[in-house]
Amino acid sequence: MSILFEPKTIGKLLVKNRLVRAPTVEKMATDDGGCTPKLVDLYTRLAEGGIGMIITGGAYTQRNGKGLPKKIGLHRDEVIDGYKKLTDRIHQYGVKVVAQLSHCGRQGTVELVGGTPVAPSAVPNLLGVTPIAMDRKQIGEAVDNFVRAAERARQAGFDGVQIHAAHGYLIHEFLSPRTNRRTDDWGGTFEKRMRFLIEIYQGIRRHLGKDYPILLRMNSNDYLEDGLGVEDAARIAERMSSLSIDAIEISAGTWETHFYMSRGDIPQNYWLYTRASGEEKERIREKLTHLARQIRFKEAYLLEYAGKIKKRISCPLILVGGIRTVRVMENILLEGSADFISMCRPLIREPEFPNLIRRGLAARSTCLNCNLCLTDKPVACYQMGFRPPHF
């Protein structure tokens, strides 16, 4: 049997194989974050397809942390029953499901967050909006809201939670010296920049106990001047491992460097600029297309960072980043570079990919890395001639 189908634990959680559905924003929830039949259908197809563990798209923990339309929300008690139906369905297939908890921070739009976005410091975002620098009360409320969202996740039947500290969202903004310019107890030194993440983690741990799995998603590289690099990432991972985080998933990039996060053929974040018109719209399109062509796709493009981080931690490492070939997946695990393989776009294209691998019917994903799936539409494969399963 392939090592891909050997079970492994994450904390007290036994996962039936080493294949993980990476957190992927679905854009299928209600306007206020509730569960829908389309979400249940999406996750049922993934569970039927043989994946070992599903990590949901980021569930916002408070109203001004939404960031994207139709996102999952765990910011209010009323959503619990709907997501309990979803987790019950997934568990019928022996699949574990983890809720990712997120707050968009400065990467939110005024329309979606209901006002000016908040952040550790007033550093303008990609759209030129300057966020409000959070005061101590707002920081404390944000920490509490992550803890409350984690409790809702447990009540809804999720097998664990993942703290989203990557991609330029709020927790990542506190970690990065580029976006955290504070000189108080929440910034200025490495330990002080770590404080927001640590308080969220320890708050959840105290509330939910030592046996409830808590995972972390963090950047291995921001690809930005004054941002986090792999050495910073290794220090963060080592610190969180010492505090008994149950697993770490590494990713990369922020909205400013989105092409490093999801490398492919078209500018997947073009939707951010669709309000532009005429020559301005075309200028932006040409610029983004040029950047996308410069940053070419290569398989397992974050593998080089995994080895540097893996040797610094004692918890399992989950690796994402353009992993497409079965032999590559197996070698990553056999060489000890990671403990789990995480995938996003291949499972959008083929939710049944894990079962195909297990049956010897697939040696490589058929995903073309076109990134048509990563727009403002509900997540699906929009390749010409390919019918999305949700419509």
In whole angstroms, give the CA distance from residue 390 to residue 388.
Answer: 6
DSSP string, 252-302: ---GGGHHHHS-SSS-TTGGGGTT--HHHHHHHHHHHHHHHHHS---TTTT
Q: Which helix (H) or strand (E) holds 330?
A: helix 326-334
Predicted pLDDT at 92 = 98
Note the pLDDT of residue 170: 98
What are the helix (H) ranges across 69-169? 80-91, 110-113, 136-155
Residue spans of the chain under pLDDT 50: 388, 390-391
* pLDDT given at position 3: 98
Query: What pLDDT score was predicted for residue 390?
Result: 42
Q: What is the DSSP letter of 3?
A: G
Cα–Cα dist 32/136, whole Å? 27
Contact present, 245 and 218 (Cβ < 8 Å): no
Instruction: Write down the pTM of the prediction.
Output: 0.94
**Which of 119, 113, 127, 34 is CA-nearest to residue 73?**
34
Kindly give the interhelix angle for 190-208 and 136-155, rounded to the nearest 10 degrees.
Answer: 40
Residue 378 identity: P
Length of the chain: 391
Active site residues per annotation: 169
**In 166-223, where do the E strands start and end?**
214-219
Quote the strand ranges of the chain, DSSP E.
8-10, 13-15, 19-21, 53-55, 59-60, 96-102, 118-119, 132-133, 160-165, 214-219, 247-251, 317-319, 340-343
**Hey, what are 277's tokens?**
């018109």
Structural domains of the chain, ranges and CATH numbers in brackets: 3-257+298-358 (3.20.20.70), 264-297 (no CATH)
DSSP label of 386: -
- AA identity, residue 269: N
Strand partners, 13: 10
Beta bridge partners of 340: 318
CA angle 124, 378, 281 (to 5 degrees): 45
